[in-house]
Structure 1
Amino acid sequence: MKNLMVILGLLVGTELYQNSLAQVNVNINIGSQPIWGPTGYDYVNYYYLPDLDIYYNVPQQQWVYFEGGRWITAPVLPPRYSSYDLYRLHKVVINDNQPYLRNAVYRKQYASFKGRYDQQPIRDSRDTKYYVIKNHPMHNQVANRGARPGGNPGPQPGRNNDQQRGHANGRPERAGREQGEHHGPR
């Protein structure tokens, strides 16, 4: 009986440990966030951009926008959005599975964020947790020195640290790459 209790305890402990690891993996996706995204979020499913009334799916790195009577997903924005500065536009974090299906709710709820330019983009952050993002200006310096993002390398001598780092069935339709050039942040 004592052995059974020990085995049961080990099984329960192992299950709890595995569940806690799964929870951590699900709740952190900093490395997937684009450098034009706002700082302050360890996990993001979608960004909603009220000025454009569009969504960005962070895990899939896909835009979701309404066109021709249906929701379209694409890796790049169509040319009609090319004049907007993604670093300046306000982004609302929405951790819903398919927020575009409730677009009227989100459009109304976040209408007051249109025209607001009050968020710091990840690109401009000196928080070391963002250095894991490939296009972050400090990513290569940290990677080249073998440093881990947890340490703070501080400002780099001789470097300008502020430079620019350049629907069917409820599912969005996929748009092909033939839609044009990349119109995201540069």
Structure 2
Amino acid sequence: MLRMLRPDDDDDFVSLRTILSHVGDRSFTTVILLTALVLVSPISAIPGLPSTGMLVIVGVASQYLVGRDHLWLPAFVLNRQVQRSKLERAIEFLHGPMGWIDRRTKARLSLLTRRPIKWLIVLTIIATALPWPLLEPLPMVTSIGATAVSLLAIGLVTRDGLFVVLGFAFIGAMGTAVFQLWERVW
């Protein structure tokens, strides 16, 4: 999957349109996963990228929920570009974690990756991504939510319900930490 993200040799900047042309316009969960994985990497510190990632993830997930056959995104999102060198660093960063995940995923607890539970997972992905523009001023904080989205999306892409469970557990732990912090501050 990471090979699909690789930019062409002559490109100094890579648009989301180019990346999606490599991935395909029917792979809703793959696009969600790739977007979340990019935001887990240090590239998420680039101003505007977490907001763009949220738009992509929410847009793609919403289209899945309404039953679209093909992915559609507005031109201003598709034309958003990132430097080739930064994208390549993000891809290199992701090779280690993705290799680890690749060796550990298999079809298990697959009931958790089918409808109607799949719709709940996609709604959870939307709810997790929506606050990212507000969190963007805090460098790398969106990477925490992107990790949860990545775990859920890995579960959907590979039909491995264990990763769905891990994604919900991560969100639960994140929510508990935020709630405890909130109680201490107020």
Does the pair score TM above 0.5?
no
Bucket of the pairwise TM-score, normalised by the shorter protein: under 0.3
**TM-score normalised by structure 1 residue count:** 0.24
Larger helix percent? 2
Larger strand percent? 1
**TM-score normalised by structure 2 residue count:** 0.24
